[in-house]
Structure 1
């Protein structure tokens, strides 16, 4: 079942009121049986859709009066519109539907949330490709950059998209590794839907680590002049204000990211734990000095 297709069917019924299963099947490029399954889904969800046989029959959305005054309360109407608004940036077809439902319900709700999935000055269709693959159960092929800086090609059964710790992740079953894996979206150079489909019910574990990395406890001390940056980048539970330093305790992989993060503070940070991270940062500083000297 495709949420995108359900949106399109409901949008079409609101616009035209009545149409045939054949018309919907041709427009959406699916079978008539699939259309009837979608209509059953809409009906079970509480949308008043009926089907009539014979000449002049078809699939019909009950009149506005039933939807507007009997079926949904005013609060429920607003909740539907606000829920759709919250996913407009992840579904190209929902924006028009939101507008039509506003007119149908005679509502002028506040657009209370906006999610922009593009980086500054950049566009990337990876999110939309993965979303489609998840809903339609297609295997995807990823060109992926690991933490080590190595690019690999992975074939994945995509399960879900997760927003965690200021970043988007894809969780899925990696056919290369024969196990569940987590992929950071910004490291996916290219995503392509294959012709291979799957029927498995995927149940990936909660995100604990990424790219098979082991997390370690890291303790850093920062100068107070970086207080605002620390408050923006870490949770309150990770921060402790000491007499002369701001202490941050976190669990992260010891990789190029954490070393680069520490170096970005220059002389205004101390690595308290672990010792080997401090040593690795010192080595990086020596290499930087050598590179600058040449």
Structure 2
């Protein structure tokens, strides 16, 4: 099982402590050092002595490939037997290099990120270093469409988010007859269904969601200050829905839908939403599912995509909209 981020952070903190040989470190000293940094950086408190002991044993073991030569002097003080040892100096194994190479391929798959400041050069140098030490047989293939418009804006938008730059974006939606000028402080880059979106707020703190394929031009806004995000919690904002379409006043609703036996395995193994639960199992193999979600355009498209294999049960207003769309589709096929 992969180690969680907090464990790796504690291991790094212990390593940094043991490298500082100008002082001696008791188990309690190491525990306090971990607790202090995790409280400051992650808001995590209450690290136990037993947790620190387990971290030290983990470092001594081969599980992470460290085999750290940690000894106890005078039955009290922890130190590295080799004064030059550090977990940061250990070479990567061939397995590590192969996994890192695959990860880099996935990162470079998103071609739009090649414009991020300094990132392309770093990725290229890393791949050159790794290539001579690993086999280069490609394993991971990700669905992509290099003809998608707007991918060239990914890098500049990423940099703007990191630098906290206010932007002026020339934009033309599919329904608009002419382009418009939008002032935005960008917070999030979101990919959905092979399309990219930037989400942020206007100087008046109105939430803006812009599709990158409708952007014409981006430039820095020198007349407005960047608006720090006090408007919404990005993770909560996105997790409450499928896709990107919503407003702050949207309420989470309970959606209940029936799925026939043919499609049930697919929807069970690839849930519509993280809140999905089985409400009822029927003898014919069909099931009734429940999700808690913002009802939006993307959810409706997803439900409609399953045609007759799905039937919305609740809420009534969603059931009626889906039914009306299917009736209209059937009428068009009869013409």
Normalising TM by the smaller chain, what interval? 0.5 to 0.7
1:166: Cα distance to partner?
8.7
Name which structure has the greater RCO, CA cutoff 8 Å, separation 6+: 1
Q: Which residue number corresponds to residue 45 of structure 1?
A: none
Aligned partners of 1:222 and 1:268 also within 8 Å: yes
Q: Which residue number corresponds to residue 201 of structure 2?
A: 173
Range with bigger deviation, 229-238 or 271-280: 229-238
Q: Which residue number corresponds to residue 285 of structure 1?
A: 326
Q: Which residue number corresponds to residue 205 of structure 1?
A: 232
Q: 1:73 to 1:140 in 2, by over 3 A?
A: farther
Matches within 5 A, 1:53-132: 72-74=88-90, 82=100, 85=104, 87-88=107-108, 89=110, 90-92=113-115, 93-100=118-125, 108=133, 118-119=144-145, 121-123=147-149, 124-132=151-159
What SS does structure 2 have at the residue aligned with 1:224?
A: coil
Aligned partners of 2:170 and 2:217 also within 8 Å: yes
Matches within 5 A, 1:218-257: 218-230=255-267, 231-234=269-272, 237-240=275-278, 242-243=281-282, 244-257=285-298
1:134: Cα distance to partner?
2.5
Q: 1:156 to 1:118 in 2, by over 3 A?
A: farther
Q: 1:277 to 1:264 in 2, by over 3 A?
A: same
Aligned partners of 2:161 and 2:188 also within 8 Å: yes
Deviations 1:163-210 (A, max 9, x none): 6899754232224xx225252646x51152224235536225223264
Aligned partners of 2:166 and 2:227 also within 8 Å: no
1:225: Cα distance to partner?
0.8
What SS does structure 1 have at the residue aligned with 2:214?
A: strand
Aligned partners of 2:198 and 2:210 also within 8 Å: yes
Aligned partners of 1:173 and 1:180 also within 8 Å: yes
Deviations 1:191-242 (A, max 9, x none): 5222423553622522326431624221111112113431224357514261
1:157: Cα distance to partner?
1.4
Aligned partners of 1:182 and 1:211 also within 8 Å: no
Deviations 1:22-64 (A, max 9, x none): xxxxxxxxxxxxxxxxxxxxxxxxxxxxxxxxxxxxxxxxxxx
1:270: Cα distance to partner?
1.5
* Aligned equivalents of 1:279, 1:242: Cα separation in 2: 24
Q: Which runs of 5+ in 2 are unaligned?
A: 1-84
Q: TM-score, normalised by structure 1?
A: 0.55
Q: 1:132 to 1:106 in 2, by over 3 A?
A: closer
* Aligned equivalents of 1:291, 1:75: Cα separation in 2: 64
